[in-house]
Each structure stands twice: as C-alpha cells, then as structure tokens.
Structure 1
C-alpha cells in the first residue's frame, strides 16, 4: 500500500501535462501511486498518459467514455486509490521538489491526522512567482494537530481541494465526493474541514499553482457561475444533517454572501444581462439561510436592499476610484515640480558641519558598513549628530536604543538631507537628493565584487533586467569617496563606476568585528545560544547567492536536508539565503519547515551577518561576496561551483573563482559531501589557498577601518602609518582626489 495516491484529472492540458507528471513521478520520495483520469480530452492528453504509464508502473490511467467535468473525474479516480493519503492535483499545476518527502515527514510527526494543509505559490505565465498571501496562518498553526474550532483561521485560506492531503479511510468513512458543476471544491472543502477530528499544517510550498494568461475556467464569462448557489445549498444541507455543527452556520452564511458578491464584482464573470438575476438568486439564498437573529455585516446589507442599490453603489465606487487615479497623477506631477524647485528654495540654508546622515541596504536599518562607521563616529566624533534614514515605520522598532531616525520622503528627511554635511550609504541615495557643494558623500559598497557591477552590466542584458545603468551612474556622480578593502576592489569600482570619486583604501568597516574576533571563539556564542547549537558542534554556514539566469533569483543547488544528514553527528548546518530572497517564495520551499524541525538553522532573517559568520567554523558558498569578508576569519571556505559557466555567462565575473579559490572547490554535490567526509575541507591545501586568497582580498582590513573613515574622511586627521589625507573640508567637492595607500 503506497503512502500517497495522487489523483490527476486531465482535460485539454496537453501543453502542461508532462510537467505535471514529471513533478510527481520525479519526486525523491517514491512511495506514491498516480491515478490519471482522462476526462475524454479531445487533445493529446490520453496518449501522453499512456506513454508515461508504459514507462512507470506507478501510474495508472483511466480513460472515461464521456466528459464528466473536474469533480466527477476526481470521483472516478478515488475508488482506484490504495494509498494512505489522497492528493488531488490539477493537471496544469506541479508539485515542488521534495514536496512528498516533506508531507510524509509531517504526517509521521503528527501521527497521521485526518487532513494535512500545506502551502502553495502562484506561478505566472510571464515567469513571476508569488507565495500565498496567507502563509502566516500556516506558520502560526504549525505545532500540534488541532480541530477547526481551535483554529478557525484555517478557513481563511483558499477554499480549494489541491492544497491538502486527506487520509483515505477518513474520506471513505465520511463518504465525501465531488458534485458536478463549477465551484465543486466548496462543498468538498467545508465539510471535510468541519468533520476532521485532527488537522495538521505544513509551512512549506508544496505546489505551484499555475496562473494562465487567459486565467482558469472560473475566469471565463458564463452562466455556469450560477452553480455557486447550488454548491452552497449542498454545504448547508451538510450542516442540516449534522446538528452538532450548527454553530458554524453564521460563519458559512457570511462566507457564502461574500463569495457570491465577489463573483458578481468581477466584470468578466457574468454576461451583463445576467448580473441582476445572479444578485437576486444570491439575495434569496442569503435570506433563506440566515440564522435567526444573526447580524448582517455592513458589506452584505446590500443583499437586503436590492440590485438597484448595489448597482448604484458600484457605479459610485468606480467613479470615486477613477477620480482618485486622476488626482494621484496630478499630485505626482505637482510633487515633481516641487521637488525640482526645492533645491532653489533651500540653497541659501547653510550646511550643518556636525550633521551626518546614514542609510544601509535601501533604508532597512542600522546595518553593514554604515552602521560600523556610525558607531565609530559616536566614539571618535561624539559631536557629530548621526541620523538614520528608514524606509517605513516597520523598521523603527528594530532600531538600537538612542538612534535618531527619519522616514524616507518625510518633511524631517528633507530637512536633514538639505543641511547634512556627511552622507554615508552602501546603496545609492534616491535620485531626487541633490548633492550640495561642500557636502561629503561616502559610499561603502556591499563588499568585494566578484560579479559584474555598474557599467559592466551593459554587456549583460539578463543581469541588468530592471536596472537603469545610466541612472545608477548619475547617482554615483555624487560620491566623493569610495571605500575599498583591496586593490582588486579599487580597480573594479573605478571601472564599473566611471565617476568623479576618489578611492579610499580604508578597508571594510563592517569587517572590523571579524578581524577582532578572528581568534576569539566566544565571539559567536550569542548566536549559538539563541539557536541551541551545542558549543562543541562544527557549524557549517551555507550562504548561496542569487542567480540572474532564473526569474526570482533562487536556484536550489541541492537538498539542504541531505547535506545536514551527510555532515553527520556533531555538525549543525546554518543556511542563509541572499537578502534579496528573504521575502521570496524560496523561503517556503522547505527551509522554514526544516528549521522548525531542527534539521538545520535558517539564519536568513538574522540582521547582522557578521554574528552568523563569527558563530560558524566553515563557509560553504558559490559566488557570494560573503567569502571575501569571511576570509578575514582565517577559517575554511568551500566553493560549490556546479553552475559556474551559466553564472558567468549570465552575470559576468571579474575572475574565475575556481582558478583562484579561497579553499577547496566542488563541482557537484557528491564532491561537496566528499570534501566533508574526507576532511579535505580543512586540509593543508585548503589552508594554503585560504592564506593566498586573504592576502589578495583582505589587504586593507586590519580591524580599524571604521575608525579610519571617521578620523580621515570626516574629521580630516592624519593617522600614524597612513599617507596624508587631505583635509576633509577641502575635499568636499566632487572630483577632489583622495590618495591613500596600503
């Protein structure tokens, strides 16, 4: 008996069917049977199914004599199922890699609940991906099993059949089947969840829900949308047959009204001549099933007031939205004119020589090089007032105590940026910010570059998708000083940003803590303690970068759970995705669930990557600039370069990291695993490569970079052992040379 029976009804999906079948039959978890139902499809679906069945005995094909529709096709497949759990997969959707293994593990962990609810992502025809907006509901309910009464918010999720696994004996005992017609998921999903004695959730994206360019069948204009009324009649009939569920009637009554009005609100669902009839039928259904004395929410009172009131309100709402759009365009134009005029109005206000403005990672908070410089300024130049620019209010609670801030675009932001003398950032300031004569812009960058940057992207059309390189260079024209940690960075930045700045060989301020913590193994103890990592464990930090050859940037090179297992006892795997992927669907492809189960530690949200590096014993990466920072720790680095040619062709690299590596190089996952099982990751050759790498790329990092920036570039001092730096006040105009040396 297999663990899973996957039922796939097929009708006119020959362009997507192979991908769907491959996503199931190609899973690493093999204990599955597939029951494909050819719903008398007029295209090549039947032949494709027979072709796959001839190759894989786990696939059974049922050819129906006539087209019966999606619900009845599912019904036809259910009696053939022998698995412990039923999954219903639409034939244009796909399972994500590792989905069945994750489901099996979660079912075992929760002792075989009646229903397992898992997450999904919408995948669009143009290549975009968006995770379920209510994914947090699954994260909040990811502990033990529960009933619907204990966690009714599960009903807020999309009422579909394909985001759940159902215990087969539970389905058979309750006699659940699908009705004919549109919206057949509704009278299945509500009864199933209401009847389930134990529900579990899996906070992992297990299914890609394809969004076709023409939409799905429910997006078509048809009278079949009237089926929704009969489907809810079936739901209420189910309640009538089970008095113990009567308490759910008020909720379902409101849900029904909202669902029907949502259909009516879509302009492409019903022919205009049918809209009044649909409203009247909805209103009749709403009246018929209204619980005695139950209040009617404000948004549904229109069902008691009639179609004429509904239509008038809809027309009024459309007029208001149109007027708002026109007003928005007018305000935008006026704001643009005001923005252009503002420098003329404020040019006579003098600069404040003791005001410094800071920003990091597009105004996300007190991080990176700007944060290190800010802290050094509070020590070496306490008279300087430091103000941080934040993107929005969400970042405010994360600020350290006593940090002054302004919100981007606010009146306070305009006041400080109009008068500040010093500007410190690792990302370009907004284009509207004009550089005033006498101001000093210090650009820190975000590490040593391996991949192409700036003007070099002009030869890489894929990598510069959505990047306005000329605008980027115009903003870089405001820089006075470009911080570098090594001669390589100096050469690259001057090539990639052909602008009027001077390279400052200060080192990378954020790396000061790494240099100082190199020999102090207790420096990362706080991170280990927070995540319960034993002090004697070898911590392996895996930090992959994003890919420009894949929309969304995420390419899973291997199963991190496999690496965690292959490392063996006494090791802890810590994974940190590229910051640009922190809020992407990549997090939902198993990483969060593996973290919850203690298989690995997901450190993607850790605000200070320096602390994560200090807590680790070895770095595994591919082409991430993190390796240049990590080299300051003099700890092993392993490169996994299994797609180097594709990465270099799409993004461009300034040198071949496999020819000049910071440690051992793996070309496949098997080679990576062998490096750890054999101990080669930290052998003599690895040490020799690491030493040579650090000599090239950590040349100016000595633990005093932040101090050097403050004292030379902001205070105009000359430090012992450094070539004289021109007085800061005399170097405030763009184009003035600043010459330092190693």
Structure 2
C-alpha cells in the first residue's frame, strides 16, 4: 500500500496537463501512486502516454470535477489522497515531501495542510499568503478548534491539503460537491485532527478570466449559500435546512465548536464584503448579493458577537442593516479620503525629495574628498560582512582614509563605539555620498546615487552564488519579485570593482551582472578570520555562547525560500536535539517564534542544548565555534568550507528550490559533505561517524578546491592595497595554495 495516491483529475485545460504529468513521471517515488481521472479525449490522449506507470481512468467529456475526484479516489490504494486539478501543477519532488510527512502522522490526523505557489497567465511561482499561518500551526496535530483562526484562513483549495483515505470515504457526500472551496472548508470542519506542513507542495494556476465563461448572477449569489451551508455544517445542527449548494446533505455532522463557528462567520463576512467591493457586478446583481449577504450576516451571527471597531465595524453594521445605498456612499467617501491623503502624502514626498535632491546636486559640485570612504552592508544594517573586514584593514594600512557608515536609525544604537555614521536621507548623508572618493557596499547604493568620474565604487557581494542572481532571475519571477532589471543594470554600471572568492563566482558575477567592472579575484575579506583566529579566540567565542568545552556544537543555518511567506525550521529541532544526545549543542540561526506562541524548545534552551543565535553577529563567530554545519542551500557553506570542518546538507525540498529559485549547479551532485533528504537521514548521519567519515572528507576536499580558491587570510589586505592604495596586481601578496593553508583550529583542538 503506497503512502499517497495523487489523483490528477479534469480536462486538459490549455494543455497544462502535459507539463503536470511530465513532472510526475520525471520524479517517481515508490510510496506514491498516480491516478489520472482523464476527462475528455484530449486528457485521455495525454495521459495514455504515461501508462502503465500511471493508472488512467477515461471519463466522458463534461464530467465535472467532483465526479472525476470520486472516480479517482475509488481506484486509489494509498493511505492518503492528494487531489490535483489538471490545470494546476506540482513542484518537483512535492509528492515525495507529502508522502514522507503523512507517514509520520498519527492515525487521528485526517487532514494535512501545506503551502502552495500561485501562477497566472503572465507570471509563475508567486508565494501565497498561507506561509505564516502554517508556521503558527507548527508540526503537531491539532483539533480544529485549537488552530481555527489560522486553518480556516488557509486558501480553500483541495490541492493544498492531503486527506486520509478512510476520512474521505466516510465523508464523501460532503466532499464531492462541485464547489471546491466548500469541499476544502468541509475537510477541516469534519476532521478529527489537522496537521500542517510549512512547505510548498502545490502550484495553483489561476486561469485568465477572459478565457472563462462569464460569471452568472447565480454564481455570484452562490458565495453566500456556500458559507451558510458551511456554518450549518460547523454547528452540526441536524435538521436545519442547508442552502442550495449542490450535492451537500442536509444533516451536518461537524466537529466544530462555537469558537470555530465564530471564526468561520468572520471569514464569511470578510469574503462577502471583499467580493462586493472588488468584483464587478451589474447593479441589480450587486444589490441582490448584498441583500443575501445581509440576511446571512444576521441569521448566522454567533451569540455574543461584537463587531470590530473602526471602519470595519461600520461596514459590518451597514451590511447587517442591509443598507445598500449607505454602504455605497461609505465606499465612495473612503475612496475620496484615501485619494486626498495619497495626494497630500505624494506632494509632501515630492517636496522633501526635491529639497534633498537639490542639496545632493549642490554637493556634487564640490571636489571629491580623496580621504573619505562610505561603507554600507546589508541595506544599511550596520558594520558587517566584507565591508567591515575591508574597513578594519583600511584603518591599519591607510589610516588617513576616514570611513563613514550608512546605517538605519534602528541599527545605529548597535554600532561599535566611536563608529562615524550617517542616517539615510539626512543632510550629511547626501554630502558624504556626493563627495566620497570610495563607496563600498555588499549590495547596492540607491538608484539616485551619481557615479562621479573620479569616485570608486567597490562591490563586495555577500556570498558565493548557488542560486540565480541579477539578470539570471528573469526566468524565475518568484525570485525576482518584480525586480526592475533596467534599474539594476544602471546600478551595476556604477561598479568599478567586484570582489570574488573563486573563479566560479567570477564567471557568475560577469554573467549575472553584465558590465565593465574589474573582477578582484582576491578572496572574501570576511573569510580572513577563518585563517587568522587563534585557539584562544575560539575558546572565548564558545564561552560567550555558553557552549561547554567538551560538547559538540552544530550550527544549523538554513536559507530563505522565495516561495514561502514565512520562516520556520524544516527540522523538528526538539526531536533532533534529543536524538543527538546531551553532549551536543545546536546553534540555531533562524526564528521559530510565531504569533507569540510558546516555543517547543523552551526546555531545551534552558538546558543549553539549543541556543538561538538568530540575532548574533558576526556570523563568522558562530562558524568558528561550531564543530560542524547543517545547512540547506545557504551560501554559508562556501565560507564554512574554509575551516575544513564537516558540513551536512539537509535538502528536503531541493527540487522545489531548484525549479522556483533557479541554481547555477547541482548541489546534490557536488555537495560539500553528506546529504540528507529527510530528518531521519540527517539524524543517522549525525549519530554515526558518517558526518566526518572518509566519504564526507573527500566531498569536502573537492568542494574546498572549487570554492575556497582565493580565501587564504589575506583577502582584505589585497583589496585595500589594490583599490585604496592603487598598487598593481603584481605587487599584491599572492594567494597561498590551498594545500599550504592552515585554517583556524577546530573547537576540539582549541580545547
């Protein structure tokens, strides 16, 4: 019996089925079966190309989605079901991810919710808004009442949830309605327990409205009927008439409490008001929709319900009173007020910008100061990364050059004592940007900054690229997120120098940032410390972090996913810490607190076995303190490799990451050490000798030769001498061959 049956259903809409089935065929999994409920000749012809690997059920043209789902479920042998519409998609590896998660769930769980990305006719891979809600739910199983505020606001799709097969069959009459949002909500209301997975495992394709039949008045009004039926289902009120949602029984055996009913009522009101405000409807249709929504608002209002304060409360009051004309007047007044406020704000910004621009332009007429350097890092977060290492070496080799840091007001109090700095937008900020000889950043200065002919712009970057960067993001809209590529190219054209840690980076920077800058193949200055730190330095750092001398410290530092709205550990850290034993400390660089909920790691943190280092700077200290690194696709692996210590890659969603973010090479084929695709595999690696065995060492050695090419402890010196002192390449300290370098001592050696 497979863990998961993926049921693809529906007609071959706009030929989307072809790509979906090709993706499934390219990534088979022994615990996943695929059933294609193919509606109509086109879908059947497409699906037959993948038989017998997939079971094909030919269905007559015109079979609705509910009947197609039922036909597929009737033939499924998996313990869990995942319904995938033929127009939608699955990220590579998604069925494996879902199958592995459901295999871990206790029997009382009926529904697993997971994240999805959205695609339209003009763009792909847009993150949903569900990530933070799924993160708040965590990994535990919950009765719906415990997580109703999050779960009932998850996008109502059948594709972003898996259902336990016996649960589906027990409630099939409620779940086979053609109204998919009703069925999606009903899965939650009828479930015994619900679990969440904060990972993308579905792609919902929104068809271009102009390609669909016009929406009828009855379809507009059905929104109200849907919620009334759901609220009846939520209360479990046998005998109450259920409004006309097709194929929904009149008796409602729901599990939900009054609290869940209140949350669903709130969802109904919000959805009705949003639909009324944003959906074009003819006047009579809009008036009738409003009337029906008003009656439902009064009829379904929970006992003791209180409207929210402010404009939202006014809207709800007008709805309950069926005050159609008053509501339209309120809408018009709000639009006028917003327009006036926007115009006033725009005018104020224009005046402020004009004054600031005038001062900046006047400053540009002043001579360039040859002894002034402006530094910034990570969008003005403070003294960090390569710019910080360069500034430190500059004070040693060229103390006559004065550094000024650009820092946001929030970060200014965190600066080291006596750091000269300016706040963005201030008078002095404009003056130093206009007159400095040197401008150093690991990202980019604002678009408005002018490149003076006798000024030097030094781009240091802040990592070795695994993921696509710059103009290479054009094919990955989830990563680009509306990036203005023309403005990006204008910023790149200001660069005089680009720092590189290895020849791979040099090639990728030249490809991703096509311009005339000079590549400085000198190494990353921030990595110098990995060769200059002493045993005493490492003991001091570990003592500061509270790591006992004899304990193994493992740094867990995952990267950001562009296709997820929030961040939560992809590992069950509490379980991992327990399995690694009392002599191992996890340094966790990431945020696992959401919505004020208690952390499951509190007890472990008190024992010192899990240390939250999310806000700790600099990250280089954490690397020096750690005996090993766990990461996924973060560029920290390239820097950490300089220490020649074990690295374990946890790549549970590699296929999804690669297809949505884009990568420059196959990390699975060329990893820096052992690779784990599941938490169980990771635990086995870390609790045996595999994390530092011969195979891991061999992989790390090859990785270091490729990506630690120029890092030898003197990168900052080479950059300062070349850029600030004007020395020739031939006069710079040569890069020490990798075999002759001595990294900082390991924690065990330091003890």
For the superposition of Structure 1 and Structure 2, which TM-score range results when normalised by the shorter chain? 0.5 to 0.7
Q: Could you say if the C-alpha distance between residues 595 and 619 of structure 1 is closer, same or farther in structure 2, counting changes exceeding 3 Å?
A: closer
Q: Following superposition of structure 1 onto structure 2, how do residues 609-628 of structure 1 map, counting pairs within 5 Å?
A: 610=620, 615=626
Q: Could you say if the C-alpha distance between residues 208 and 438 of structure 1 is closer, same or farther in structure 2, counting changes exceeding 3 Å?
A: closer
Corresponding position of 1:277: 288
Q: Distance in 2 between matches of 1:463 and 1:253?
A: 38
**CA shift at 1:350, angstroms?**
9.3
Q: Secondary structure at the match of 1:156?
A: coil
Contact 1:369-1:426 within 8 A present in 2 as well: yes
**CA shift at 1:359, angstroms?**
0.9
Q: Following superposition of structure 1 onto structure 2, how do residues 136-175 of structure 1 map, counting pairs within 5 Å?
A: 136-153=132-149, 154-174=151-171
Q: Distance in 2 between matches of 1:68 and 1:662?
A: 48
Per-residue displacement from partner, 1:553-606 (whole Å, max 9, x unpaired)?
xxxxxxxxxxxxxxxxxxx9x7865xxxx2412899998358787599997997
Q: Distance in 2 between matches of 1:22 and 1:172?
A: 29
Q: Distance in 2 between matches of 1:44 and 1:662?
A: 42
Query: Is 1:230 paired with 2:208?
Result: no
**CA shift at 1:235, angstroms?**
1.6
**CA shift at 1:506, angstroms?**
7.6
Q: Distance in 1 between matches of 2:404 and 2:627?
A: 33
Corresponding position of 1:289: 300
Q: Could you say if the C-alpha distance between residues 44 and 468 of structure 1 is closer, same or farther in structure 2, counting changes exceeding 3 Å?
A: closer
Q: Secondary structure at the match of 2:155?
A: coil
Corresponding position of 1:105: 100
Q: Secondary structure at the match of 1:110?
A: coil
- Residue 52 of structure 2: which of 52, 55, 58 is its match? 55
Q: Following superposition of structure 1 onto structure 2, how do residues 442-521 of structure 1 map, counting pairs within 5 Å?
A: 442-444=458-460, 472=489, 508-517=524-533
**CA shift at 1:70, angstroms?**
2.8
Q: Secondary structure at the match of 1:44?
A: helix
Corresponding position of 1:85: 80
- Residue 198 of structure 1: which of 183, 193, 197 is its match? 193
Contact 2:423-2:429 within 8 A present in 1 as well: yes
Query: Is 1:8 paired with 2:3?
Result: no
Q: Distance in 2 between matches of 1:296 and 1:276?
A: 23
Q: Secondary structure at the match of 1:89?
A: strand
Contact 1:517-1:523 within 8 A present in 2 as well: no
Q: Distance in 1 between matches of 2:20 and 2:506?
A: 49
- Residue 126 of structure 1: which of 106, 122, 126 is its match? 122
Per-residue displacement from partner, 1:602-640 (whole Å, max 9, x unpaired)?
979977664576557799999x998986786578999xx
Contact 2:127-2:565 within 8 A present in 1 as well: no
- Residue 44 of structure 1: which of 36, 42, 45 is its match? 42
Query: Is 1:703 paired with 2:698?
Result: no
**CA shift at 1:379, angstroms?**
7.6
Q: Secondary structure at the match of 1:592?
A: coil
Contact 2:504-2:707 within 8 A present in 1 as well: no
Q: Distance in 1 between matches of 2:359 and 2:330?
A: 42
- Residue 260 of structure 1: which of 253, 267, 272 is its match? 272
- Residue 446 of structure 2: which of 402, 408, 430 is its match? 430
**CA shift at 1:228, angstroms?**
1.4
**CA shift at 1:190, angstroms?**
3.6
Corresponding position of 1:210: 205
Corresponding position of 1:548: none
**CA shift at 1:166, angstroms?**
1.8
Q: Could you say if the C-alpha distance between residues 22 and 412 of structure 1 is closer, same or farther in structure 2, counting changes exceeding 3 Å?
A: same
Q: Could you say if the C-alpha distance between residues 9 and 527 of structure 1 is closer, same or farther in structure 2, counting changes exceeding 3 Å?
A: farther
Q: Distance in 2 between matches of 1:173 and 1:451?
A: 45
- Residue 329 of structure 2: which of 312, 333, 356 is its match? 312
Corresponding position of 2:406: 389
Per-residue displacement from partner, 1:254-293 (whole Å, max 9, x unpaired)?
221211122222234x344411111111111112222344
Corresponding position of 2:570: 592
Q: Secondary structure at the match of 2:122?
A: coil
- Aligned-residue CA RMSD (Å): 5.9
Contact 1:356-1:385 within 8 A present in 2 as well: yes
Q: Secondary structure at the match of 1:6?
A: strand
Contact 1:343-1:434 within 8 A present in 2 as well: no
Q: Secondary structure at the match of 1:283?
A: helix
Corresponding position of 2:21: 21
Q: Distance in 2 between matches of 1:530 and 1:44?
A: 64
Q: Distance in 2 between matches of 1:21 and 1:487?
A: 39
Corresponding position of 1:542: none
Q: Distance in 2 between matches of 1:441 and 1:260?
A: 54
TM-score (norm 2): 0.66
Q: Secondary structure at the match of 1:144?
A: coil
Q: Distance in 2 between matches of 1:192 and 1:693?
A: 49
Contact 2:11-2:42 within 8 A present in 1 as well: no
**CA shift at 1:168, angstroms?**
2.5
Q: Distance in 2 between matches of 1:148 and 1:420?
A: 60
**CA shift at 1:205, angstroms?**
0.9
Q: Distance in 2 between matches of 1:491 and 1:192?
A: 51
Per-residue displacement from partner, 1:637-694 (whole Å, max 9, x unpaired)?
99xxxxxxx99xx9999xxxxxxx9999xxxxxxxx9x999947756x9979978997
Contact 1:618-1:637 within 8 A present in 2 as well: yes
Q: Distance in 1 between matches of 2:267 and 2:508?
A: 59
> What is the count of residue pairs matched by the alignment?
645
Contact 2:115-2:197 within 8 A present in 1 as well: yes
Q: Could you say if the C-alpha distance between residues 60 and 448 of structure 1 is closer, same or farther in structure 2, counting changes exceeding 3 Å?
A: closer
Query: Is 1:250 paired with 2:269?
Result: no
**CA shift at 1:370, angstroms?**
0.7
**CA shift at 1:438, angstroms?**
8.8
Q: Could you say if the C-alpha distance between residues 273 and 687 of structure 1 is closer, same or farther in structure 2, counting changes exceeding 3 Å?
A: closer
Q: Could you say if the C-alpha distance between residues 524 and 122 of structure 1 is closer, same or farther in structure 2, counting changes exceeding 3 Å?
A: farther
Q: Following superposition of structure 1 onto structure 2, how do residues 656-671 of structure 1 map, counting pairs within 5 Å?
A: none
**CA shift at 1:308, angstroms?**
0.7
Q: Distance in 2 between matches of 1:36 and 1:662?
A: 36
Q: Could you say if the C-alpha distance between residues 740 and 18 of structure 1 is closer, same or farther in structure 2, counting changes exceeding 3 Å?
A: same
Q: Could you say if the C-alpha distance between residues 76 and 184 of structure 1 is closer, same or farther in structure 2, counting changes exceeding 3 Å?
A: same
Corresponding position of 1:555: none
Query: Is 1:342 paired with 2:339?
Result: no
Q: Following superposition of structure 1 onto structure 2, how do residues 327-406 of structure 1 map, counting pairs within 5 Å?
A: 337-346=354-363, 357-376=374-393, 387-390=404-407
Q: Could you say if the C-alpha distance between residues 512 and 147 of structure 1 is closer, same or farther in structure 2, counting changes exceeding 3 Å?
A: same
Contact 1:518-1:633 within 8 A present in 2 as well: no
Contact 1:636-1:690 within 8 A present in 2 as well: no
**CA shift at 1:114, angstroms?**
1.8
Q: Distance in 2 between matches of 1:651 and 1:253?
A: 44
Corresponding position of 2:599: none
